[in-house]
Amino acid sequence: MARRFNLIQSPEDFESFKSFMKEPRGGGAMDVSVAQGIVDDVKMRGAKALVEYTAKFDRLKLEEETLTSQEVDLSELAKLCPENVKRAIEFAAKRIETYHAKQIPSDHRFVDDAGADMAWRWGAIDAVGLYVPGGRASYPSSVLMNAIPAKVAGVKRMVMVAPAPDGVLNPAVAYAALTVGISEYYPIGGAQAVAALAYGAGPLLPVDKIVGPGNAFVAAAKRIVFGDVGIDTIAGPSEITVVADKLNDPSWIAADLLSQCEHDPAAQSILITDDEGFASKVETAVKDQLMKLETQETATVSWNNHGGIVIAKMEQAASLVDLIAPEHVEFAVEEPEVLVESVRHAGAIFVGRYAPEALGDYVTGSNHVLPTSGAARFSSGLSALDFMKRTSIQRISVDAFNALAEAAETLAIAEGLPAHAKSVSIRNNN
Amino acid sequence: MARRFNLIQSPEDFESFKSFMKEPRGGGAMDVSVAQGIVDDVKMRGAKALVEYTAKFDRLKLEEETLTSQEVDLSELAKLCPENVKRAIEFAAKRIETYHAKQIPSDHRFVDDAGADMAWRWGAIDAVGLYVPGGRASYPSSVLMNAIPAKVAGVKRMVMVAPAPDGVLNPAVAYAALTVGISEYYPIGGAQAVAALAYGAGPLLPVDKIVGPGNAFVAAAKRIVFGDVGIDTIAGPSEITVVADKLNDPSWIAADLLSQCEHDPAAQSILITDDEGFASKVETAVKDQLMKLETQETATVSWNNHGGIVIAKMEQAASLVDLIAPEHVEFAVEEPEVLVESVRHAGAIFVGRYAPEALGDYVTGSNHVLPTSGAARFSSGLSALDFMKRTSIQRISVDAFNALAEAAETLAIAEGLPAHAKSVSIRNNN
């Protein structure tokens, strides 16, 4: 049963709600040393180590020269993807591409009042590694959401790794990979795959950045290789906050809450409403829907352990959302724009009664890789920008040099850096 | 003595140059467990632990209630900053502010062909922690370069931590802090300061993101808290690559190489030139200048252990620079624009014979926090964007819902996520 906080009747509930938001939801208990050992081993022994780990963890025999397996062929697998799923993947891919193409930043150049010709230029990262989990969480949408922003940014080499335990890989993942133009694929996973992407292993040359979700070993390995290569954020369990008034159909809102709960026992769904009666109807609907849900086991644990219902005035809703800083938030209320204007911390906002968050997971075109666990306070969803980098270009004429030299020299001397000062003054004396 | 690679006479030198680029330059040998212990302790015991560590490491007595020390008063210290340094700080601050203000991104909104009203909005991070090292590397320019992009982005709360060993803090750092409008200052440092910023300690409330350079303990602590708060990149030792033809004054180029060498024994300066005679003249000039340099001890170690001279055709220069992916590169050649066009991996490019990199450290206005150790392959210098985050806003009408529902439901079912599918289908049946 979800926790309930009635901030209207019991304002003191606010403190318990704040504590509730700080409760750990797991994921942190990982022993980093296991991942560290695997990363070091792959860094040292390369393809040989990869072959061993893949045989051990995935029961899959890899050829050491190619790091491929006869059992896993993307093109053959893709053929097994049902036609309606193929069409849906193409539909989603096109929309995601259109959306992310609008994110490409402009270069900039200007001459400032000292005569310095200042510019910056954006360029694509050369090579990106895309981690796709195996097993139950092997999602074609994850391939689309991670690869398409890279493609749009201009990344030339997109390397996908996805473990294929016992030779099994989701045909829809294979189809999505071919749709987005993955350049290389290796059936490897875990910390060993992250290490191979970062440092190279046999035929797999190192990439520059690694993105994509994974289990605790993958997250730990990404944290270890961070700095040697770029990584995306460390993703935590998924979250949704739904702000809903009593004019909603309670069963719709219940379905939205459960759509996050089914992801992970550590997922968190929170309802904020100003009507206690409506809250109870949603709670009943959640129970009803849980009974018929194939994913009821996961969803029940998530709802019972981490679910929350907050009764509050609508005027409080925005600040409650900011406190949560949720990955996703839905505004299913009569006047959502007031909330849209006020909320500052959220990965993605879904506006209106016909905007279930699941649409954004697949087909609105916006990215579903979003900051979790309150990271929306300081970070953003995945975008084309994450696959680009900016070079600053400074063209300095003699006149501009003359305008800047004195202050630079003064600061260099003040900082105890005489060679810095000299590199300026030596040009002055000429 | 710097290593020399003559790619014109001995093309096989290219392999040794590649190995040279892979040589570790230190920084990685840090024992993470020490930092982990300190972070855990501060997380647990808060201000009490901070007071103890500061007494132990910095020999400074802090009041536990305020985390301040009577010995360290920013306003009093700032008065001790020499007038010419004050003016230079103001000059630099104004230029840095002008430059970074141009980086503020635009919000975006459009209705796509399915009728979905898609948008994104940028907002500032609420609270940022700025780490300023103590001792020799306590630089006012570092305060400016880290704080001004945050200020320009709209960050309301800017918390500075800078250790004051034995009560000593650089007056220029104090003046810079007041110039940029730091909201809070605590005289703390090391892993303990990073932990306090991330998790809060007594009067110091947690921030959302931590930026700024630091020693190995600080870097390790930033890696540990990453995810709970945002961090900037893990900065390595500084680097410069200078591409210079024989028309340069060798002593100017020598000064530029040494300006990086004096930063750190692990810093790296590399000269790329097409003229062997010129290379030798630069090498002689480096030796001459080293003899008179106050920072000769550090600079000599850097130049002897990590310095490099590459003789190559100018046509090879761009690809050599891309291989290095240097933090800074100077193009002191007759036709620099060819190089500017071709080079893809560099933090900052300085163009022309009057563009010593030191100008960019202080006063061109561009940021001096730049990707090191080849990270320019996948990351960018610090910018206003680093202090902002983007929220995606999706307004979905009934018509847009109808256009998107089928594909979303298909993908949800294909991914084994029935509650996702239900949150869509339940609205269809209404």
Q: What is the rounded distance in angstroms from the CA atom of residue B147 to the CA atom of residue B126?
A: 13
Q: How many CB pairs under 8 A join A and B?
A: 375
Q: Which of A328, A345, A357, A368 is catalytic?
A: A328
A contacts of B424 (beta carbons < 8 Å): 356, 358-359
pLDDT of B399 higher than 70? yes
Asked if residues A69 and A336 have their Cβ atoms less than 8 Å apart, the reply is: no
- Residues sharing a CB contact under 8 Å with residue A118, sequence separation 6 or more, in sequence order: A109, A110, A111, A112, A392, A393, A394, A395, B99, B364, B365, B366
pLDDT of B47 higher than 80? yes
Q: Which pLDDT value is given to residue A421?
A: 97
Smallest Cβ distance to B419: which of A299, A398, A419?
Answer: A299
Q: Which pLDDT value is given to residue B163?
A: 96
The beta-strand segments (E) located in B133-201 are 157-161, 184-186
Asked if residues A188 and A55 have their Cβ atoms less than 8 Å apart, the reply is: no
Mutate to test the interface with B, among A83, A91, A359 (most CBs of B within 10 A): A359
Q: Which pLDDT value is given to residue A183?
A: 86
Q: Which of the four pLDDT bands, split at 50, 70 and 90, describes residue A28?
A: low
N-term to C-term CA, chain A: 79
Residue A15: exposed, middle, or buried by beta-carbon count in 10 A (0-12, 13-18, 19+)?
Answer: exposed
B328 is catalytic: yes
Query: Average pLDDT in the B91-95 region?
Result: 98
CA distance A62 to chain B (A): 27
Q: Which residue carries 């210098």 as its tokens? A: B381
CA distance A425 to chain B (A): 9
pLDDT of B29 higher than 70? no
Q: CA angle at residue B188 from B183 to B190, to 5 degrees?
A: 125
Asked if residues B259 and A423 have their Cβ atoms less than 8 Å apart, the reply is: yes
Q: What is the rounded distance in angstroms from the CA atom of residue A105 to the CA atom of residue B417?
A: 35
Inform me whether the C-beta atom of residue A216 falls under 8 Å from chain B C-beta atoms: no
Q: Show the domains of chain A with their CATH numbers.
A: 3-27+236-364 (3.40.50.1980), 32-104+123-231 (3.40.50.1980), 396-428 (no CATH)
Query: Average pLDDT in the A263-274 region?
Result: 96
B contacts of A384 (beta carbons < 8 Å): none
Other CB atoms within 10 Å distance of the CB of residue B37: 12
Smallest Cβ distance to A426: which of B136, B208, B255?
Answer: B255
A330 vs A264, more confident: A330
Inform me whether the C-beta atom of residue B343 falls under 8 Å from chain A C-beta atoms: yes
Q: What is the pLDDT of residues A36-86, one digit of tens each?
A: 999 999 999 999 999 999 999 999 999 999 999 999 999 999 999 999 999
Q: Which pLDDT value is given to residue B429?
A: 62
Q: Which pLDDT value is given to residue B122?
A: 98
Q: Which pLDDT value is given to residue A216?
A: 85
Which A residues in the span 120-139 are in contact with B, Cβ-Cβ below 8 Å?
120, 123, 125-126, 136, 139
Q: Which of the four pLDDT bands, split at 50, 70 and 90, describes residue B235?
A: confident
pLDDT of B430 higher than 60? no
What whole-number percentage of chain B has pLDDT above 70? 98
Q: Which of B100, B306, B328, B368 is catalytic?
A: B328
Closest C-alpha to B278, from B1, B84, B4: B4
pLDDT of B61 higher than 70? yes
Smallest Cβ distance to B262: which of A98, A289, A419?
Answer: A419
Q: What is the rounded distance in angstroms from the CA atom of residue B391 to the CA atom of residue A184?
A: 32
Q: Which of B283, B327, B330, B357 is catalytic?
A: B327
ipTM: 0.95
Calculated CA dihedral for residues A371, A373, A378, A382, nearest 10 degrees? -10
pLDDT of B270 higher than 70? yes
3-state secondary structure of B112: coil
pLDDT of A430 higher than 80? no
Q: Which residue carries 């050369």 as its tokens? A: A126
Q: Which of the four pLDDT bands, split at 50, 70 and 90, describes residue B27?
A: low
Q: What is the rounded distance in angstroms from the CA atom of residue A162 to the CA atom of residue A177?
A: 11
CA distance A204 to chain B (A): 18
Quote the longest CA-to-CA distance of chain A.
84
Inform me whether the C-beta atom of residue B261 falls under 8 Å from chain A C-beta atoms: yes
Closest C-alpha to A63, from A44, A80, A50, A78: A50
Q: What is the rounded distance in angstroms from the CA atom of residue A193 to the CA atom of residue A161?
A: 7
Residue B24: exposed, middle, or buried by beta-carbon count in 10 A (0-12, 13-18, 19+)?
Answer: exposed
Q: What is the rounded distance in angstroms from the CA atom of residue A88 to the CA atom of residue A359?
A: 12
Angle between helices A250-261 and A276-292 (to 10 degrees): 60
Calculated CA dihedral for residues B389, B390, B391, B394, nearest 10 degrees? 180
Inform me whether the C-beta atom of residue B262 falls under 8 Å from chain A C-beta atoms: yes
Binding residues of B for substrate: 238, 260, 263, 328, 361, 415, 420
Closest C-alpha to B223, from A42, A231, A43: A231
- Give DSSP secondary structure letters for A160-217: EE---GGG---HHHHHHHHHHT-SEEE---HHHHHHHHHH-BTTB---SEEE----HH
Quote the longest CA-to-CA distance of chain B.
84
A contacts of B87 (beta carbons < 8 Å): 407, 410
Q: What is the pLDDT of residues B311-358, one digit of tens each?
A: 999 999 999 999 999 999 999 999 999 999 999 999 999 999 999 999
Mutate to test the interface with A, among B94, B363, B402 (most CBs of A within 10 A): B363
What whole-number percentage of chain A has pLDDT above 70? 98
Inform me whether the C-beta atom of residue A22 falls under 8 Å from chain B C-beta atoms: no
